[in-house]
Amino acid sequence: MKIEVVLTEAEIVQELTEAVEARDLPEKFFYWGPLPVRAWLARAADPAFAGLRCAWQQLAAKAAWLLEPFGPPIHAISFGAGDGSTDRLLLDAIRQSGRELKYYPVDASQALLEMACAGAEDLDIETDGIKADISSPMHLVFASDAAESPKLLLMSGNTLGGFDPLDHIKHLAQCLHGDDRLILDAEIYQIDGSVPHPDTLRQFAFAPLAALGVSADDGEVRFEYKRDQSIAGLHVTAAHFRPDRDLRIATPDREVLVQRGEHINLNFSYRFTTEALHTLLVERGGLRILDQIPSPDGRHLLLVCSR
């Protein structure tokens, strides 16, 4: 297994301590370490996400159309690849079509990245993992330069929704050249405001603090639903934790005292109306939408974009 390390574990540990001190945990910590990884895999396996996988399978059935501009080998770079299981729905179809393929999963989570590499290698797909921070424009460019254009850039599992989508789409668009294709999915806002399986969402949101020894009895995880006014149709769910007692949180570097009643910002997740996604990609990202596939349950939209 080959993994190039741009973001080291020492850097992640230092950032974790700073994040607890700032009472604000960045997205990468919800997938870092055994307990958060388990909570994420449990959430990702939830039947509520079957519709999303169905949309990727429908795209896989159109692989011949998707790959028209590409000569061999096909290079696929996946930002926030996770365990790679969503990507493999498409990659396996490409492999089965007899096209030569090289896969570059990019993630901050060593454990998930290893799963992505191992899963692709099991399918005999040549794989180079990249451990990098996709919230850093420099790391994004570095990872996207792993292969020459034309290439496929993938972003699956509503990964876009874990970042400020306006900033992130601009940085992603800068990685796209000529005949490159960006394939991403996003979660569609539901009129009734519902989110798939709130129970696994709560465990997932609390997992980084649980990994630091905070107990569910030490306070309460709350969710706040807001509109983001920067584009009509942008909605965000933000989780935070409020301790009921003073806590000494033992980060790997040092202990951080968090007092009763303070707020620790946990993760947030954007949901989009279809119109908001179009505005984001076309007007803010300067991209063209070549195809879109709604999931059968209407909870996700998969889009194929070019420059």
Ligand X SMILES: C[S@@+](CC[C@H](N)C(=O)[O-])C[C@H]1O[C@@H](n2cnc3c(N)ncnc32)[C@H](O)[C@@H]1O
Residue 80 near ligand X by CB under 6 A? yes
String of DSSP letters for 140-196: HHHHHTTSPSS-EEEE-SSGGGGS-HHHHHHHHHTT--TT-EEEEEEEBPPTT---S
Residue 71 is given by DSSP the state P
Q: Which of 110, 144, 156, 203 binds ligand X (CB under 6 A)?
A: 156
Closest approach of ligand X to the CB of residue 231, in Å = 21
The smaller minimum CB distance to ligand X, of residues 28 and 181, is found at 28
Stretch that binds ligand X, among 64-72, 153-161, 214-222, 244-252 (CB under 6 A): 153-161
Q: Which of 90, 112, 153, 207 binds ligand X (CB under 6 A)?
A: 112
Closest approach of ligand X to the CB of residue 63, in Å = 18
Residue 214 is given by DSSP the state -
Structure-token pair, residue 97: 């079509």
Contact of 264 with 208, CB cutoff 8 Å: no
Contact of 268 with 239, CB cutoff 8 Å: yes
Contact of 33 with 204, CB cutoff 8 Å: no
**How many residues line the site for ligand X (CB under 6 A)?**
20
Q: Which of 16, 19, 20, 31 binds ligand X (CB under 6 A)?
A: 31
The smaller minimum CB distance to ligand X, of residues 127 and 135, is found at 135
Q: Which of 110, 159, 237, 267 binds ligand X (CB under 6 A)?
A: 159
Helix (H) / strand (E) containing 242? strand 234-243
Structure-token pair, residue 53: 């996988």
The smaller minimum CB distance to ligand X, of residues 144 and 158, is found at 158
CA 26 to chain centre: 12
In 3D space, the residue among 29, 23, 87 whose CA is nearest the CA of residue 59 turns out to be 87
Q: State which of positions 169-208 bind ligand X (CB under 6 A).
A: none
Residue 28 near ligand X by CB under 6 A? yes
Give the integer Cα–Cα distance in Å for 194 and 50: 16
Residue 135 near ligand X by CB under 6 A? yes
Helix/strand/coil for 136:
coil
Q: Which of 134, 152, 182, 276 binds ligand X (CB under 6 A)?
A: 134
Give the integer Cα–Cα distance in Å for 174 and 203: 35
Contact of 275 with 148, CB cutoff 8 Å: no
Closest approach of ligand X to the CB of residue 232, in Å = 24
Cα torsion at 56, 58, 63, 67 (round to 10°)? -70
The smaller minimum CB distance to ligand X, of residues 87 and 218, is found at 87
Closest approach of ligand X to the CB of residue 302, in Å = 11
What is the x/- site pattern for ligand X, positions 81-110, by CB under 6 A?
xx---x--------------------xxx-
Stretch that binds ligand X, among 27-35, 96-104, 272-280, 289-297 (CB under 6 A): 27-35
Residue 15 near ligand X by CB under 6 A? no
The smaller minimum CB distance to ligand X, of residues 159 and 200, is found at 159
Closest approach of ligand X to the CB of residue 131, in Å = 8
Give the integer Cα–Cα distance in Å for 202 and 65: 40
By CB under 6 A, name the binding residues for ligand X: 27-28, 31, 44, 80-82, 86, 107-109, 112, 133-135, 156-159, 162
